[in-house]
Every structure is written in structure tokens, then in C-alpha cells.
Structure 1
Amino acid sequence: MKLKHLWKAAGLVALSAILILTLCLAGLLALVLRSAQITQFWNAPLTKLSQSLVLEEGRYHFTGEDLLAQQDLWLMLVGRDGQVLWQYNKPAEVPDQYDLLDVAAFTRWYLEDYPVQTRIRPDGLLVAGAPKGSTWKLTISLSEQILHLLPVWGVLLFFLSLICVLALAALLLRRWFRQDQQARDEARSDWINGISHDIRTPLSMVMGYAGQLEADSALPPARRDQAAIIRRQSQTIRDLVNDLNLTMRLDCQMQALRKTKLDLAPFLRQTAADFLNSGLAEGFSLALDLPDQPLPSLEADEFLLRRALNNLLINCVRHNPPGAVIRLGARQTGKACLLWVENTTPDAPAPPLYQEEDGGPAHGTGLKLVAQIAAAHGGQATFFQGETFLCQLRLPMRPS
């Protein structure tokens, strides 16, 4: 999964989080508006009920029975002396006499568990009561300082929630990415292993018959030379197949490193001797450049490190005309050890370098493998091009 795909997924999650938060805020706002409507619906009848209760000739006349019936309310008027002057459908358990403390209590809360609302009139206090359990009354007090901080807290909580959602999404995306990457790596590994196996069998036959033709003295020299070319090119194909397998395993982190203590001077001498004994092409020379003082030891996989150096040496022979001088050397630099392979070609341009961005030239697979082996050891491979071709491997020294 590319980085832009991860950003798209993160943006989608962020938009989802914003949508969810918007819906929650809209729902909360709708609830508040609905509550306000209910409160207005509660207060509006109380105003009308007060207008419907009129004192005429010492008696109260009431015309708002329909309003009471709509909300199942009861009504009473408490005089200034605390005595109930008038009532309509008042429950029997509700008292007929009140003192100052009683009035102060039920005007804010409940009267005998009945939620009530009150309205002051010139002749007393009009009290409207609803059925028990129909309304929840709660008084909330906030300081102005806290009220001013509420928007800030809201914004902070929004971003905190958004960060939590994005973090959870990142964890899930990372897990899915790993699973998807593992499946792709396994599929690629199976495909490359299958192709490599299919190539090796006919390639071995080609190399075997080419070797026999090359050694057959009955053939003309030109035919024997052609057989030698076939054998060498077949070996090149075999090396490329091996490099492809190893590159894939290192790229997918499927190649376990078998690190051991490695003394560099004997290791480099043996590498140079093996390369010379394998048949260095005519017109090439190999020189070993080692310092006078002892080299440090490394924690390295001997097989992989030898493979990297062999690839560089073969690259110098394969892509240079006869007369090239190849140098293999090492030295200590700071807390690292520097290994290099260099070739100098008189009156000839240096070979093209490996470039990871565009896949490099045809011989780039071997150089890519060199870079991967260096990275697997915690080091770095650097390629230089000028009058000479130079590759430096900077590897960490073995801790003392």
C-alpha cells in the first residue's frame, strides 16, 4: 500500500469521524430544541390557565378545562396566607395549607412527588401540577468562568476524539497493510521460486552439453569457442536467477542472517583467491589493498558478504574491456569498517551505475543485491562513477 493510499484512508476515517460528530451534535441540538419546545408547551398553558381563572363577585370562574385535559394537569391557587383559595382536580394527598418553607421547596422541585410549575398572580400563587413520573426536574448552576470555557473544552474534546479515531484507524490500517503485504510477498515468493525451479532444470542441461562440446577435440576451434560462450552465458543466467531469489528474500525479510565473528583480512584474502581460481578473464588483474595495522572483526553473514563482493568483482569483469585493474580493499573508519571494490579502465568510460528509482541497467540486479546485503547488516552501499567505478560498503564493527 502506497503512502498516498494511506493518506486517502486516513482522510476517509477523518471525514467519517467528523460526520459522526456532526450527527451527534445535531442530535443533541435537536434534543435541546425539543426540550425547549416541551418547556414552552408546559409554560404556555400556565399563562393561558392564569388568564382563564377570573375572580368575579368574590368567586373564581375558570374556563380552561380543555387546557388541563390536554396535558392531564391539575390546578390550584394558593393565597398570600398559604391557604388554598381555589383548586381544580387537585389530588387529595396535596395539602390545603402551606407556609413559606413549603412554597420555597415546591416551586423549584416537587410537591408530594408531583412535578409542578408556578405563576405569581396579584391574588396569590397559581400552581399547576402534572402526573407523577411525567417530568424530571433538575437545577443546574454554572459559574460564568466555566461557561466561558465550555467552547474551548468542546474544541479540545473534538480534536482529542479525532486523534483517538485516527490512531485506532492507523493501527487497523497497519495491521491490514501487513497482512496484505505478507500475502503479496508469499505470492511473489512462490512465483519466483517456481520460475527459478523451471529455469534451473533446462539450464543445467544447456550448461552440461555446452561443456561437453567445449571439451570435444573433434570439433573445430570456432565451434568450441561458441560452446564456451554458451556455457559462460548460461552461467550468467544461473547467477541472475540466484540473485533474483536472494534479492526477493532480502526484500521480503525472509532471509535469516547467520552472523558470526568475521576476521576481515583472512576473509578478503580467501575471497580474492576464490575469485582468481574461478578463472579470471584474460587481460584483467586483481589487487588486494589491506592496511598494515590489523582490521577489526565484524558480526556478519559470511555467505552473504562474500556474495556481495563476488557480485561486484563479476560486475567489474563483465562490464569492462580487457586491461581493467580491479582492486579489493578494506580499512577502518571511525566505528565502521569500509570495504570497497574499484576498477580502473584505461581509455574507456566507466560502466553505468545501479539506480534503484528506475530499476537500473541490465546488470543492476547484482548491484541492488549488494545494497540489500549491506542494509541487512545495518550498513550502507555507496556507488561512485567517474574515471573509475567504485563501490564502498560501510559496515558497523563488531562490538567489543
Structure 2
Amino acid sequence: MFKHIRFFFRRYVVLIMLSIIVLFVLNLYLGYAIAVNPVTGDLKKSPGAIIEKVSEGLLESEDGRLELSEEGKNLLTESGAWAILIDNSSSDVIWNDHVPPEVPSHFTPTDIAGFSRYYLKDYPAFTWENPNGLLVLGFPKDSYMRLGDKYYSIPVLQKTITQALPLMLVFSLLAVMVIYIISGTLMMRPVKNVVAGLDALSRNCPVSLKEKGAFSEVFASINQTSAILSQKNEALKKKDNARANWIAGVSHDIRTPLSIILGYAEGLKASNDNETQQAGETISHQALRIRSLVNDLNLASKLEYEMQPLCLEPIDVMESLRQVISDTLNNGLPEQYTIDFDYHDNCGGCLVKGDAKLFERVLVNLIQNSIRHNPDGCDIVVRLEKRAEELELTVSDNGIGATQEKLKQIRSATHYIQNEEESAIQNHGLGLFIVKKVVSVMNGKIAFESECNKYFSVKIILPMFHSTEVNDVNLTRENRTY
């Protein structure tokens, strides 16, 4: 663990140091590029060009005096400069134009050497060799900056810096982004492999990561975990198959003795003795109940382990409801029970996609659930409504209901095998478990609501099925069994 933390820490330190070095070198290069290339602005109006023109225009008149040409005067006026001419032998100023009062009229060789490289009384000074002496041009104090033998126009330099700073910032950000993208890609690659491995484990998929690099120990742990889970899943699968096969075998084997019991029960029911008839009725009723439970157990097992063959087809919900309710009434519904079918007119012809036999089994189970758990009778209401692109089916009764604890267990139950914690679910038999599984297969949603001694309600919401070939949809009930 600490090994991986140190690895990441070193990576981040190296990343930060690399970013600092790159930014420093980049900005140093840009600064150097400005420093070695004097910023003069317009070359035709540069100090070198001006002093050369002024020197060419400084000539002796007929009376021996030095006079500056009009072009030279205009250049000095436009640039705000002043000029002096220093005699080579005496170092005295023998000519000047617009010279400031603080500029002396005599210079020593040391003074000349000083301002020829730097400033003259804080004025940027430039020199030029003239036939009559040393020509010196001085510019306003805030016009030029001299560094050695190079000079920079301060206004142009300010403009250049103003434009260069955003450029330097952009280049710096791009450099940092490139560094982070490259480094982040290299650092996140093993992390992505870890995430991909964990995601595969969550989906019970086998994982095989290359055990190399700084995350080799993590990769090895994930591979080991994957192998262990695969072994356990295989063992669980074998157990589940064995249990499902055992249940299917028992369900098959129990039918023969049940048939014999039912045959003898029918014989007892035909007896002239009332007690014998009553015993036959009881035996027949309990045998039928056992057969129903065995069938439910077998179906629940197949649904749970996805062994039940499904025949998905469009189902007319209205027709299925009518047929189930009609069969329930025709089979002899006790007098203490009533069934009311409430539906909206727009539900006619509405289709859902599912297995028709299993869907009818859902309807039967919901109605029988209300009958089975209310021995003193109740009123059962079956309601069908169309809401947008969904059908809402509700089966409710006003019987004894269920406690909130039982209701919570019914909602959260994912297994039908009885245990101490799920005994309340078994009080509602396998019927609701089968209902939940079938609704899930049909991509529907189910909700349970109840209040003790008041009502019990099951609401199923199913997505509607739209078919462009309704005439080819087989909605007949032939060859359908429960």
C-alpha cells in the first residue's frame, strides 16, 4: 500500500518539477528573444536613421557657420530630440540645437566615453561621427532605454510586452496541459486497468490482468480474487442446478401417488355415508392443494434459475383478465367472495409483450392469494387503467391485509426457499414470488401496499407493446395449460 502511495507521490513531484522547468525555460527563451532583438519600432524613425540624416544635413554655410538643413530640423522636431556637435580637439560644443540647459558646453574624454554607451544627463544619447566633430543626439528621457550597445523604444517595448505576456501565458498553459495530459495518461493507465478489473468482478466476469509495473501487487490480488469468485460461482451453479433438478424430480415423482390418492378420494366422496363423503372431500381438497403447491414450487424453481422456456408474444390484457375472472367464477367461487372488474374503455385492445401462460398464471395467483388468505371472505377488485404508454393493473381486497413487517419482507424477497427470516413470505405462499418473477421477465414494475385488517393491494405496471402486424398476432387460448 505504502509502495503505491510513494509511487504516486514521486510521480506528482516529478510532474511539478518538470512543469516548473519547462515554464522557466520557455519564458527565459522568450525574454532572451526580446533582449537580443532591440525593439526600435519604425526603422525609418529609429535613432540611428535620424542621427545619420541630421549629420548629413549639418553643413557649413558660406560665412563658415554650421547650419542644419530643413529636413534635419523637421526630424529633430518630430522626434523631440536635441543635438550638439563636440569639437574633436577641444571637446567643446561648437554647435547645438534645442539643447536642454543642464547639458554642459564642454566634455572630458571620460564624459564622452560614458554617454556614448549610456545616458547624457539622463537623456538617451546617440553619437555619430561628423566631419566637423562628434555629433550627439539626445532624446526625451522616457523615449528610449539603452542596455549596452542596444536600445529599446519604451512605448514600443511596452506595447510588445503587453502583447507578449498573453502569448507567454498561453504557451505556458499549453505546455502545462501537454505535460499533464501525457503524465496523466501514463499514470491513469494502470488505474483504468484496476477499475476495469473491479467492474468485471462486479459482473462476475473473469479477469486476467498483466502483473507488471507499480500496480503488480494490486493486479495479482484482482486476478486471485477473480479465480476464487469463479470457483465459488461454478460451485454455486452446480448446487443450484442440482437443487432445481431435485425439485423437478420430486415434482414429477409425487404426481403418481397424488393421482392415486385423488382416485380413492373420489371413491370416498361417492359413498352413501356422510362421514365417509366428508373425509373424501377433505382428502381430495388437501391432495389438490398439495398438487398446486408442487406445481408452484416447480415453476418457481424454473423461474428462479431461468430454466422455464418462455414464449414471448403480444398479449391482450383485457381478454386475459376477462377469461381468468370468468374461469374463477365458473369454477365455483364461494359465496363469501365477490370479484369486481373495473376497467377504462381505452384499455380495449391494449397489448403487452410476455408469455401468455405465465401472465395468466400471474392473474390467477393474485386472485387466489386474496381468496386463500381471507377465509372469512372479502371483496376482490381487479382494476385496469391505461396511463400514457403503460398499463396499470391492480388487484386488491378488503380482507385481513398484512403487517408492515410482512409487507417489507414480501417486497425485499428474492428467493422462494423458506428460512427463519422469511417465514412471513411463506405465509403468502409461492404465488407472489412467481408474480414478481414473471413481471420482471415482462420488463414491468410491481408494488405491494397493505394495512392490517383493512386491505391488501398489488399494483403491476407493464409497458405497452405496439405491433404493426396486429392481424398476425396469435391471441387464441388454444393449447394453453397452467
Report the TM-score, using the length of structure 1 for normalisation.
Answer: 0.56
Contact 1:320 1:351 in 2 (8 A): no
After TM superposition, the structure 1 = structure 2 runs for residues 13-162 of structure 1, keeping only pairs within 5 Å, are: 156=188, 159=191, 162=194
Matched, 1:235 2:288: yes
After TM superposition, the structure 1 = structure 2 runs for residues 145-184 of structure 1, keeping only pairs within 5 Å, are: 156=188, 159=191, 162-163=194-195, 171-172=206-207, 173=226, 179-184=234-239
Structure 1 stretch displaced more, 376-385 or 204-213: 204-213
Deviations 1:240-277 (A, max 9, x none): 11111111111111123212222222221111111112
Equivalent position amino acid for 1:243 in 2: D
CA distance in 2 between counterparts of 1:149 and 1:314 reads 65
Contact 2:384 2:394 in 1 (8 A): yes
Matched, 1:304 2:369: no
Contact 2:384 2:391 in 1 (8 A): yes
Report SS of the residue matched to 2:206: helix
CA distance in 1 between counterparts of 2:180 and 2:369 reads 73
Report SS of the residue matched to 1:391: strand
Match of 1:364 in 2: 429
CA distance in 2 between counterparts of 1:397 and 1:187 reads 37
The verdict on how the C-alpha distance between 1:224 and 1:351 changes in structure 2, with shifts beyond 3 A counting, is farther
Gaps of 5+ in 1: 1-14, 23-145
Contact 1:282 1:322 in 2 (8 A): no
Match of 1:277 in 2: 330
CA distance in 1 between counterparts of 2:182 and 2:465 reads 59
Deviations 1:87-109 (A, max 9, x none): xxxxxxxxxxxxxxxxxxxxxxx
How far the C-alpha of 1:320 sits from its partner, in A, is: 0.6
The verdict on how the C-alpha distance between 1:159 and 1:334 changes in structure 2, with shifts beyond 3 A counting, is same
The verdict on how the C-alpha distance between 1:394 and 1:168 changes in structure 2, with shifts beyond 3 A counting, is closer
For 1:245, which of 298, 302, 323 is the aligned residue? 298
RMSD of aligned residue pairs (Cα, Å):
3.4
CA distance in 1 between counterparts of 2:180 and 2:390 reads 60
Matched, 1:215 2:276: no
Equivalent position amino acid for 1:302 in 2: A
The verdict on how the C-alpha distance between 1:211 and 1:335 changes in structure 2, with shifts beyond 3 A counting, is same
The verdict on how the C-alpha distance between 1:263 and 1:318 changes in structure 2, with shifts beyond 3 A counting, is same
The verdict on how the C-alpha distance between 1:219 and 1:168 changes in structure 2, with shifts beyond 3 A counting, is closer
For 1:389, which of 456, 467, 470 is the aligned residue? 456
Gaps of 5+ in 2: 8-177, 208-225, 414-420, 468-482
The verdict on how the C-alpha distance between 1:376 and 1:177 changes in structure 2, with shifts beyond 3 A counting, is farther
CA distance in 2 between counterparts of 1:168 and 1:323 reads 52
Structure 1 stretch displaced more, 300-309 or 158-167: 158-167
Match of 1:7 in 2: none
The verdict on how the C-alpha distance between 1:158 and 1:206 changes in structure 2, with shifts beyond 3 A counting, is same
CA distance in 2 between counterparts of 1:255 and 1:327 reads 30
Deviations 1:348-384 (A, max 9, x none): x324646244431333311111111111111122211
Equivalent position amino acid for 1:278 in 2: N
Equivalent position amino acid for 2:378 in 1: A
Report SS of the residue matched to 1:364: coil
Match of 2:162 in 1: none
For 1:399, which of 466, 472, 480 is the aligned residue? 466
How far the C-alpha of 1:150 sits from its partner, in A, is: 11
After TM superposition, the structure 1 = structure 2 runs for residues 243-392 of structure 1, keeping only pairs within 5 Å, are: 243-295=296-348, 296-345=350-399, 349-351=400-402, 353=407, 355=410, 356-357=412-413, 358-359=421-422, 360-386=425-451, 387-392=454-459
Contact 1:240 1:366 in 2 (8 A): no
How far the C-alpha of 1:289 sits from its partner, in A, is: 1.4
Contact 2:396 2:457 in 1 (8 A): yes
Equivalent position amino acid for 1:385 in 2: S
For 1:199, which of 249, 254, 276 is the aligned residue? 254
CA distance in 1 between counterparts of 2:185 and 2:344 reads 67
Report the TM-score, using the length of structure 2 for normalisation.
Answer: 0.47
Identical counterparts, % of pairs: 30
Match of 1:12 in 2: none
CA distance in 2 between counterparts of 1:263 and 1:235 reads 30
Equivalent position amino acid for 1:187 in 2: A
Give the aligned length: 257
The verdict on how the C-alpha distance between 1:180 and 1:399 changes in structure 2, with shifts beyond 3 A counting, is farther
